[in-house]
């Protein structure tokens, strides 16, 4: 009961701060009003998307421990007594009120908003923005919108395990009615107010019922390799796996495959990365030959794109024949690997170094066609521009 009272009080305080900020910032005059991308970093998406779209700027409320990007706006790193409480209660609504005066719209990456008192805050936040004539785009990235219940239904329909299969094993909260209600509330707010929705509809099955644009990647063009000499200069193959959530990514399958192949006499270096900075992941991929991504997913994921951009042959369960949002021809860019095929597929590449290099080049080329910032940025810019034109 006390928790619910605190949540309600916090929400009321944030509503007051938001409206007060909006009134006090009414004198703001800007020559070029931009889209705001934020407010919390997810896998580099906020930074990379804002960098790729000329009409956007990034705004984050909390610094991510694994990324050191520069943002259009981020809070001061200086600390003072009660700073955490003040920021969590006041910073988001105050900044939202200011940005609502200086922006044309908001691109929300993931499900978190500037108000964070309760899971139903997004409805009020979106309603406030729509009331004042701003456009709203939602860019969903995974469990922010994914419904465990609907993913289990997908498993029954296809006979294929997916990311929802083991969510309850990771944490029982994922199978609770409250968690499902939260996912439904987030989708309902998007259905009701969002002008644009980006989502991986199959991999992130949800309660969304409005038309969506495919999830796009924004890998920096300058970080795509054109150097494949590591395939000639190294006798021992380097294999990398970097799971953000080991059970969900299939790390148990990867470790079993590694142990089996070592028992068979294969000589390679295996590197497993967890809880490290983005820079460490990038440095490791630059010398790796094979990347093991995730094996319950329908899409290649951010790590998979980073691996292909770095010139690694990628093993992943993503399959263009299962997910219509994946571009045609994508199965030539990586080695499609079901959850029960990890050992077999990895053995194939270790037995055929030339095929590994060919696959790595094909993956790099796929990134250049479909996943770099210059390509995806133009696509998103056009979608945002069209939305603004429709609002006039």
Closest CA to 138 of 62, 230, 207, 67: 207
DSSP-derived 3-state class of residue 300: coil
Residue ranges in the chain modelled with pLDDT below 70? 31, 77-85, 117-120
> How many angstroms separate the CA atoms of 182 and 164, rounded?
16
> What pLDDT is recorded for position 210?
86
What is the per-residue burial (b if ≥16 Cβ within 10 Å, else e) of 354-366? Answer: eebbebbbbbbeb
Side by side, the strands of the sheet bearing 196-198 are 56-58, 34-38, 103-109, 135-139, 196-198
> How many angstroms separate the CA atoms of 60 and 366, rounded?
30
> What pLDDT is recorded for position 97?
96
Closest CA to 70 of 47, 49, 54: 47
> What pLDDT is recorded for position 84?
62
> What pLDDT is recorded for position 25?
93
DSSP-derived 3-state class of residue 356: helix
> What pLDDT is recorded for position 82?
55
- Rounded to two decimals, the pTM is 0.93
Distance of CA 25 to the CA centre of its chain: 32
Distance of CA 45 to the CA centre of its chain: 6
> What pLDDT is recorded for position 168?
87
91 secondary structure, DSSP code: I
> What pLDDT is recorded for position 79?
56
> What pLDDT is recorded for position 24?
95
């Amino acid at each position: 009961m006390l928790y619910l009272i605190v949540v309600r009080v916090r929400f009321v305080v944030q509503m007051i701060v938001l409206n007060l900020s909006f009134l006090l910032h009414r004198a703001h005059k800007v020559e070029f009003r931009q889209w705001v991308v934020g407010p919390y970093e997810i896998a580099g998406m906020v930074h990379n998307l804002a960098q790729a779209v000329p009409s956007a700027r990034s705004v984050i409320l909390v610094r991510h421990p694994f990324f050191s990007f520069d943002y259009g706006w981020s809070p001061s790193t200086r600390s003072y007594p009660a700073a955490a409480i003040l920021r969590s209660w006041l910073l988001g609504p105050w900044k939202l009120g200011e940005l609502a005066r200086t922006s044309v719209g908001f691109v929300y990456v993931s499900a978190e908003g500037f108000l964070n008192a309760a899971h139903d805050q997004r409805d009020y936040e979106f309603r406030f923005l729509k009331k004042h004539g701003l456009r709203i785009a939602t860019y969903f990235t995974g469990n922010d919108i994914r419904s465990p219940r609907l993913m289990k239904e997908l498993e029954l329909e296809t006979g294929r395990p997916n990311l929802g299969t083991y969510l309850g094993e990771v944490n029982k909260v994922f199978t609770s009615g409250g968690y499902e209600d939260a996912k439904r509330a987030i989708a309902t707010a998007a259905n009701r107010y969002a002008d644009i929705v980006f989502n991986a509809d199959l991999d992130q099955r949800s309660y969304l019922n409005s038309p969506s644009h495919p999830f796009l990647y924004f890998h920096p063009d300058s970080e795509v390799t054109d150097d494949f000499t590591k395939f000639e200069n190294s006798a021992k193959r380097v294999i990398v796996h970097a799971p953000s959530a080991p059970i969900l990514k299939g790390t148990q399958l990867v470790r079993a495959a590694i142990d089996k192949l070592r028992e068979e006499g294969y000589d390679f270096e295996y590197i497993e990365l967890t809880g490290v900075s983005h820079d460490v992941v990038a440095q490791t991929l630059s010398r790796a030959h094979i990347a093991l991504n995730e094996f319950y997913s329908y899409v290649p994921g951010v790590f998979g794109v980073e691996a292909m951009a770095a010139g690694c042959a990628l093993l992943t369960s993503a399959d263009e024949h299962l997910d219509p949002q994946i571009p045609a021809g994508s199965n030539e860019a990586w080695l499609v690997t079901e959850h029960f095929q990890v050992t077999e597929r990895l053995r194939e590449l270790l037995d055929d170094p030339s095929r590994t290099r060919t696959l790595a080049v094909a993956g790099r080329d796929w990134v250049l066609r479909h996943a770099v910032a210059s390509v995806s940025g133009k696509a998103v810019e056009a979608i945002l521009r069209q939305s603004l034109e429709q609002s006039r």
